[in-house]
Amino acid sequence: MGKIAFVFPGQGAQAVGMGKDALHIPAVKALFEGADEAVGYALSDIVFEGPEEALKSTANTQPALLTTSLAYLEAFREAGGAKLAPDYVAGHSLGEWTALAAAGALTPAAAAKLVHLRGRFMEEAVPGGRGAMAAVLGAEREALRALCETVSAEAGRVELANVNCPGQIVVSGTREGVDAVVQRGKEAGAKRVIPLEVSGPFHSSLMQPAADRLEALLRETPLAAPAVPLVANVTADVASDPEAIRSLLVRQVCAPVLWEDSVHRLVALGVDTFVEFGPGAVLSGLIKKINKDVRLVTVNSAEAAAAAVPALL
């Protein structure tokens, strides 16, 4: 019998109304109420009713996605999935925090508060318009890294930010640096380079001010050992020690998300089933491109949560 990983998406998966279909479950209602209290305003109103602009603000998106993903996990547990413990957890960027909350390293309310502040720190780290990100399609990782180094020396700093799957890498940095990669992507073998609508150059060294503020906050935050090991974004390796995880969460703000490597690592550890909890199916799409032989189960609604239980047990 193969092993199971529970995985959780990051920013970009959000949609107004997400999680509302699971509100009839008392534990889900309590999750959203706890998140509202943790951030100090009616976050759930923004999640369920919008407006979309407010939900897209990073300081709202992060706790909103975390709470919704945990809500669908709660719906899954309520439907009988509590009998099924994963062997590993992982998440994409913000999703790593959700994974840690799912594994009991942080309470959902503490995680919601932390990622709300993480989002605010990230938004405030670089003045608006100074940073940018772009998705590079079709380039090899090392060729793109070399182009980024060349461009950083000539135009402005730009770095690999998300290594998502074969042929899909996101770069991040100064507007000048990212613009140059958009113009010169073909030099690294890119078929297309698509500028992204984001509020900052996430997962680049320009985020260092946000990492410093987060580190100070995390020093004061109790963190337990997760009930199951995490495969971390920064190293694409297993982490269970709370102090190591604390350090990885800080490094993750400026370091690339090694999602492709993380999935390979999980498969090497014996995982053959990935269950994605959260709105949409972004990670399932990426995992399919990384390894077409694994089994994928997407829990992105209360209905999907109920259907997933008999499929997995």
Nearest alpha-carbon partner for 304 in 266, 267, 286, 278 = 278
Strand, helix or coil for residue 239: strand
The Cα 41–Cα 57 span in angstroms is 14
CA triple 160-162-164, angle to 5 deg? 130
What are the backbone angles phi and psi of residue 140, rounded to the nearest 5°? Answer: -80, 145
| 3-class SS of residue 7 | strand
Burial of 83 (0-12, 13-18, 19+ CB in 10 A): exposed
Active site residues: 93, 203
Q: How far is CA 293 from CA 25, 84, 91, 290, 304, in A?
A: 34, 22, 20, 9, 22
CA distance 193 to 182: 5
